[in-house]
Amino acid sequence: MLAKLKSFLFANAPDGAGAPSEDETVRFACATLLAEAGLMDGKLDGEERASIEHLLGKRFGLDAAATTALLDRAMAEAKNSTELYGHARTVKDSFTQDERIELMEMLWEVVYADGALHDYESNLMRRLAGLLYVEDQDSGAARKRAMDKLGLS
């Protein structure tokens, strides 16, 4: 169904501007979820942005320019949309269980990048764990690993 929708939406696109590849769609979904986590406390500070850029570059093997471009697109999407389900479903359908847990760890790193967990961020993490089909125990372990990496435990 997703393939049919993509082909319909991009059928009249100019040459070279066809539908994004599945990898690009998954990268954008992950970046948007990370951007949403960074914005959840009302602002995206420098530590959160740097954390997202580092995590995206490392996870997807992107150079600095590609990472910045991806994050800028994701930030625009996160600011203009309140919808999480579509992005979470894209990730859930494309990632293995271990990859989804890894994404939860990345998300925890972003929400803790400023050294504090806000109520809205905590709520977002619970919702995302459910949407990504990540058990509470696995999300909690990912949270602990993220806090250890950041020196917050």
DSSP codes, 72-92: HHHHHHHHH----HHHHHHHH
Amino acid at 85: Y
The highest-level CATH class for domain 21-150 is: mainly alpha
User: CB atoms < 10 A from the CB of 108, how many?
Assistant: 24
Q: Per residue of the chain (153 residues), give pLDDT as tens.
A: 545 544 444 444 444 455 567 799 999 999 999 999 999 988 888 899 999 999 999 999 999 999 999 999 999 999 988 889 999 999 999 999 999 999 999 999 999 999 989 999 999 999 999 999 999 999 999 999 999 999 997
Question: What residue spans define the domains of the chain?
Answer: 21-150
Q: Would you give the end-to-end CA distance of the chain in angstroms?
A: 44
Q: What is the pTM of this model?
A: 0.85
**The token pair that represents 3 in the structure block:** 């393939």
Backbone dihedral angles phi then psi of residue 87, each to the nearest 5 degrees: -70, -40
